[in-house]
Structure formats: structure tokens, C-alpha cells
Amino acid sequence: MSAVSVIIPAFHAHATIARAVDSLRAQSFMDWEAIVVSDDGNDYRAALAPDPRLRFVSTGAIGTGPAAARNRGLDHATGGLIAPLDADDAFAPGRLATLVPQALAHGAAGSNVRVVDDATGVLVSTLFPTDGGDVTLDAARFLATSVPMMFVADRAVAGRWDDDVFLCDDLPYNIRLIDKLGHVPVTAQPLYEYRVREGSICHDVRSGEWAERGYTTVLRRLRADGLGIASPAISAMLEDAVARKRDLNRAFEDARRRGEVANFQEFIAKRRPVAANA
């Protein structure tokens, strides 16, 4: 049994998964296991150097989506803490050492995020200003963000992802955490690197269509079963935020069709320029 189970969904990830796993091997906190979940029928063992902390499972299908793949990984996880990592992203070396104690103390913890263009290595933005100090995320502040966040969380508190939300699955998953905990501490250090990569699910030419479907599914589920959110106030905030995010996604799609931007993070960065010291 490991302290932290890092769950890595893999869909056409041969070009990037070694970098993601290498970022785990570089962690100063070493009591982790990584569960690589193939969602494309491929066996990723050959793409990675042998390591007893790596485990390999499959969804048994192709393209079930990140949420379903993470749930499959969760079924095989042994750690008391869960840390999602996308196969084209990376952890900074001190991420687990910094966040594990906070997650044990508070139930979950997060970090600032560096958004990086994968082709050039150029910094596009950070989620929060790096000189603004640590952040305490409540529901309203979390819902105002526009970059996916991956918390390190107590698995007993976090629960599961929503299989039917193909894109934007981080919204209901993270908001349920905040609903249970009240708030989540987030360090100002950018310890997660979110790579904007052409061809990834979030930056596919169909990402706008998938996001539209994801937001619509969240709104439908909120009205049908509440998505497991106990607080009526947080449920109402989520409904309002998702409707606004859907409008923002539609504006992005219009800008992309006009050739003004290539991906959503570029669209967001043009609306909110990166801080000079980020």
C-alpha cells in the first residue's frame, strides 16, 4: 500500500506519458503508486522504464473518457490519497511533498497551475498570480477559475468522477469536495504543469463540441439528481457558473472559427494576460 495513488488516464498518450511518469519519479516524496489506465486498447508498459510503483489497467474499451478511466484506476488504487495526473501534463518535483501534508490535514489540497504551450514550451498563463500568496478556494472562487485543477484528496472524501461527463468532469468532482470540506487550501507555487497540446482531448478541434455536451450534461444532472451536492447554495452557484462557462465556450468556438485563437487557453490568456512575474 502506498500513501498516494496517482491516477493517469492514457488515450493516444505514447508521445507524452513518459514525461508525466518521469515527473513522478522526480518527486521528493516517494511513497506513491501510479496507475496507468489505458483507454485506447494500448499497453503502455513498453513506453515506460520498469518501476515497481507503476501499475497498468485498462478500461476495456476505446475512448470512454477521462472520468471513466480515472474511476477504473480508482478501483485499483491502494493509497489513502488520490492524485490525478493527465498523461500529457507533469508534476513539479515538490508537488507531493508540499500537498500531501495539507491534504492529510484538510481533506484535500491544490496548487497553482502553469499553463504551457506543449509545442514551444512557452508559458501561456498561470491559474493565479504567483506573487499573490496562497489561496483558500471556496465554491465561488473555484467556479471562477478557467484552468482545470487536480487536487490531492482523501479518497474517502473525494468519491468518484461522473462517467457521463466527458469533458469538464473536474467541475462536479471538485465542487463536491468543496461542498464537503467548505474550502480547499491552494499553494501559490505552480506545482502542476498543464500542457496545451494540439490533438489532446481538451484541445482537439472537437473540444468545443465536447465541452458543450459536458456542460449540458452537468446542468441536466443538477436538475435531475443534484450531482450529490448537499448545499443548495453551492448547487445554485454551480448551475449559474456552468451556464456562464457554456456561454464562454460558445464565444471561444466563434473566435476559433474566425481564426483568432487556436485553443481555449489561448482564448482565456488573451482575455486575461499573464502576470509579468509569472
Assigned domain for 197 exists: yes
Residue 230's domain is classified under what CATH number? Answer: 3.90.550.10
Separation of alpha carbons 66 and 172, rounded Å:
14
- Give the chain's domain count: 1
> What pLDDT shows up at residue 201?
58
Separation of alpha carbons 206 and 202, rounded Å:
9
Q: Which helix (H) or strand (E) holds 25?
A: helix 17-25
> What pLDDT shows up at residue 204?
62
Percent of the chain residues topping a pLDDT of 70: 95
The cell for 171 is 467541475
> What pLDDT shows up at residue 275?
38
Assigned domain for 255 exists: yes
User: What's the Cα-to-Cα distance from 55 to each of 154, 189, 205, 264, rounded to whole Å?
Assistant: 20, 29, 32, 32
- Name the least confident of 18-22, 82-86, 154-158, 193-197: 193-197
Separation of alpha carbons 266 and 119, rounded Å:
13
Say yes or no to pLDDT of 276 above 90. Answer: no
Assigned domain for 276 exists: no
Assigned domain for 71 exists: yes
Q: How many residues does the chain have?
A: 278
Tell me which residue range forms the domain holding 59: 4-271
pTM of the model: 0.89
Higher pLDDT, 254 or 45: 45
Bridge partners (DSSP) listed for residue 91: 192
One DSSP character per residue, 28-67 reads: S---EEEEEEESSS---GGGS---TTEEEEE-SSS---HH
pLDDT band at 267 (very low <50, low <70, confident <90, very high): confident
Say yes or no to pLDDT of 203 above 80. Answer: no
Longest dimension (CA), the chain: 51
Higher pLDDT, 145 or 36: 36
Say yes or no to pLDDT of 86 above 50. Answer: yes
Residue type, 98: T
Answer yes or no: are the C-beta atoms of 36 and 10 closer than 8 Å.
yes
Residue range 97-113, pLDDT digits in tens: 999 999 999 999 999 99
Assigned domain for 29 exists: yes
> What pLDDT shows up at residue 200?
62
User: What's the Cα-to-Cα distance from 171 to each of 17, 35, 219, rounded to whole Å?
Assistant: 24, 22, 11
> What is the crossing angle of helices 170-181 and 232-257, to 10°?
150
- Name the least confident of 4-8, 208-212, 269-273: 269-273
Count of CA atoms in the C-beta half-sphere (13 A) of 268:
18
Percent of the chain residues topping a pLDDT of 90: 76
Average pLDDT of 31-56? 97
Phi-psi region of 183 (alpha: psi -120 to 50; beta: other; left: phi over 0): beta
Separation of alpha carbons 37 and 41, rounded Å:
10
> What pLDDT shows up at residue 277?
31
- Name the least confident of 165-169, 232-236, 238-242: 165-169
Assigned domain for 278 exists: no
Average pLDDT of 214-226? 94
